[in-house]
Amino acid sequence: MTILGPPVAAGPGEMGGGGTWTRFAAIYPDALFHRLSLLGVGKPGQHIVDLGTGSGTLARGFARRGCFVTGLDISDATMVDAEWLDAQCGVKIVYRCRPAEMTGLADGEADVVVAGRCWSWFNRPQAAREAQRLLSPGGAVALVQFDPVGLPGSLVQAAETLILSVAPRWQGTGRAVVRPDWLVDLASAGFDGLESFSFDVMVPFSHAAWRAQVREIASGSAGLDDAELVKLDTVLADHLHRDHPVQPLLVPHRCWAVVGRATRPSVTPASPVAPDQRPLTGMTVRSAGVFSKLRRRKTQ
């Protein structure tokens, strides 16, 4: 399995901005941008709209590759972090405080619409229709997920066990990084030529960075309160010091993406299309690689 570097190792306060996620989240691997470029996403000069941009991690990856990027999010605070990080990388991204479902941008303004690690948080049918509206004819949408994966014996599995010791009712173990239902979202909004791919990598983390990411997971999906987070962090710190003293830690992550094409005229948010009105047929899977394709047959 490929090992990324350098390690995610920043400590509290070292990177400016305010968010734990900003300081400690793993960046997207170069392999993601390479594979997306083979599908026409992230070419130099493209105008890319990044929905749910957060601290701009995905947006920066495209900006560094010569794209013009507009990042949208409903959190001003995370975009302040994003601007600080942009300055460190020497890139310029335009940020707007807008929801993914109603961006206020012009019809056909974007060559590409992307969303990284956030699609599940949106009203997905509305966001998909809005992406369709934003794209120029032949434009592309790309949805990306990049998360720790709980392989047997991994640090992720150990962290999940520790979370369960504090929050026994938590149901976040074995989270699905691959999301075939997102292909349905895009097809239902009129996107065609859908292709998906996935690959696994090992991401190096310092102890501080991994503890911060586990706290982020536990405070979100597990819903732990402050006292429970302190208890979890203490147990995790002891576990790392005792069983994994050598740094950096290698944490398995899975990257998954789906790309679709806007082959029809743009649609407006005022013309919703129910998912069940666009039945899907003709699914083919290429199991020899990690690619899969979903094709919709046109009615005669």
135 phi and psi angles, rounded to 5 deg: -85, 140
- What does the pLDDT read at residue 77? 87
List pLDDT tens digits, range 81-137: 899 999 988 999 999 999 999 999 999 999 999 999 999 899 999 999 999 999 999
- Say how far apart CA 102 and CA 64 lie, in whole Å: 27
> Picking from 4-18, 62-76, 131-145, 174-188, which range would have the lowest pLDDT averaged per residue?
4-18
- Say how far apart CA 244 and CA 237 lie, in whole Å: 10
Residue by residue, DSSP assigns 92-139 as: --EEEE--TT---PPTT-EEEEEEES-GGGS-HHHHHHHHHHHEEEEE
Mean pLDDT, the chain, whole residue set: 81
Residue-range domains of the chain with CATH: 2-275 (3.40.50.150)
Residue 272 preceded by cis peptide, ω within 30 = no
List pLDDT tens digits, range 128-183: 999 999 999 999 999 999 988 888 888 999 998 888 888 787 766 666 578 889 99
Give the pLDDT mean for 230-246.
93
pTM of the model: 0.79
**Upper half-sphere CA count for residue 233 (Cβ side, 13 Å):** 18
